[in-house]
Amino acid sequence: MSAWLHIIGVTEQGVDALPPAQRALLDSAETVLGPKRLLPESGGTQNVMAWKIPLSAMIEQVLAARGSQTIVLATGDPNWFGIGVTLGRHLDADEFTLHPAASAFQLAAAKMHWPLQNVTTLSLHGRKPAHLQPHILPGNRILALTSDAGTLGAVRDMLNARCYGQSRLSVLENLGADAEKRTDFAANEPLPEICEFYTLAIECVADHAAPFLPMLPGLPDESFVSDGQLTKRDVRATTLAKLGPYPGALLWDVGAGCGSVGIEWMRAARNAKAICFERDPARFEMIDTNRMALGVPDLEIRAGEALAGMIDQPVPDAIFIGGDVANQALFAACWQALRLGGRLVANAVTIEGERALFDRQAQHGGELTRIEIAVLDNVGQYRAFKPRMAVTQWLVTKGETA
């Protein structure tokens, strides 16, 4: 199939500034779709339509034009947090062609004199501002697309709550347009008056009291709201290392407690996903609080018994069993659901759980590890290391043995 759809990036100079080849595509198209402010005047037989809301309606507009010569106009680079990415999930690659213009990130980096390869780029447009949380790190430079003026206030409040009040913020309005404007201020200063269309530049500066929350697994235990049912920091770091987060991979966190393993899985790799299965209603709110505070608002929560919750869920690339380890029916369901080549890690602290892991290792292979950790404590007027409960950990790759 030849490309019937052309997705053309447009700068703030509008369609009149398009290169001749792209302008010719636009003029010859039967249908033109895009934001109202980018659309040319309709005339003749050309069907010019502004985007409908919500996003699903936009996709329906494009699919309805399938087979006819169609243009979608987008700002900047449509394949960088843009409509090109979305439509790419609904169309075959040979159905459409991308024509990028300079992106907001490129224009913003040039204005800030920041080397773009050393900058974190993300979109808060139509997304929860909490996505910024994992990137708030000392010295980090961030360029973020925004939804409206309210995004700035949410980001400013987040930085202050994290003790990053000295961070420098630059509001870059209408980049590439005649009305372009830059406003600089610190997060602990009053909000300036701004327009609705801007890119936000952030240079993170940590106060002395700021907690250090890197993306590397092993966040401090106090980073999580919990009732004590928490995979402790050192064991959690080991668990995540064996689970091996990677871009786009899905984890099932079974018996999730406060959600610490699923949360750190998502923080550790780009677009990693996790589903937390937890039956205790009191912990649902804890998981929700933690996923927002630690920057993974898209983490999913399945309430109730895990066996029932697993039905019709997407196939996981990895599974962590942190609760009810001795339950053979639960393990069997997890093992059946896990994709071939996927990894399963289970942690046991009871004799019953440990015995189950020994039996499963004998049948399925993998490796067993005993993790014993001691922490400094006071004994009267002296200090000594106090052992924590030993953890028996099983790591297995499905398909390792027959």
Q: Using omega within 30 degrees of 0 as the cis cutoff, is the peptide bond preceding 129 cis?
A: no
CA separation for the pair 358, 21 (Å, rounded) = 67
**Residue 208 maps to a domain:** no
Q: Is the pLDDT of residue 400 over 70?
A: no
Q: Is the pLDDT of residue 1 over 80?
A: no
Looking only at the bridges linking them, the beta strands covering 318-321 and 250-254 are parallel
At 224, give phi and psi (nearest 5°).
-110, 140
Instruction: Tell me: do 85 and 114 sit in the same domain.
Output: no
CA separation for the pair 389, 383 (Å, rounded) = 19
CA separation for the pair 94, 282 (Å, rounded) = 50
**Residue 213 maps to a domain:** no
| Residue 339 in tokens | 């994709």
Look up the pTM and report it: 0.93
| Residue 88 in tokens | 């790419």
Could you give the percent of the chain with pLDDT greater than 70? Answer: 99
pLDDT for 2? 80
**Residue 318 maps to a domain:** yes
**Residue 184 maps to a domain:** yes
Say whether 10 sits in a helix, a strand or coil: strand
Instruction: Tell me: do 16 and 56 sit in the same domain.
Output: yes
Structural domains counted in the chain: 3
Instruction: Tell me: do 111 and 97 sit in the same domain.
Output: no
pLDDT for 229? 86
Instruction: Tell me: do 111 and 96 sit in the same domain.
Output: no
Q: Which residues is 318 bridged to in the sheet?
A: 251, 343
> Is the Cβ–Cβ distance between 194 and 146 less than 8 Å?
no
Say whether 112 sits in a helix, a strand or coil: helix
Looking only at the bridges linking them, the beta strands covering 250-254 and 273-278 are parallel
CA separation for the pair 95, 226 (Å, rounded) = 49
CA separation for the pair 215, 266 (Å, rounded) = 9
Looking only at the bridges linking them, the beta strands covering 120-123 and 96-99 are unpaired
**Domain range enclosing 180:** 105-203
User: Which tens digits make up the pLDDT trace of 333-350?
Assistant: 999 999 999 999 999 999
**Residue 75 maps to a domain:** yes
State in Å, rounded, how far the first CA of the chain is from the last one.
Answer: 43
At 379, give phi and psi (nearest 5°).
-125, 95
pLDDT for 402? 43
CATH number at residue 297: 3.40.50.150
Could you give the percent of the chain with pLDDT greater than 90? Answer: 93
pLDDT for 207? 97
The angle at the Cα of 358, spanning 352 to 363, to the nearest 5 degrees, equals 130
Q: Is the pLDDT of residue 246 over 90?
A: yes
Looking only at the bridges linking them, the beta strands covering 181-186 and 168-173 are antiparallel
CATH number at residue 83: 3.40.1010.10
**Residue 210 maps to a domain:** no
Instruction: Tell me: do 191 and 231 sit in the same domain.
Output: no
At 160, give phi and psi (nearest 5°).
-65, -40
Instruction: Tell me: do 158 and 187 sit in the same domain.
Output: yes
What would the mean pLDDT of 162-185 be, rounded to a whole number? 96
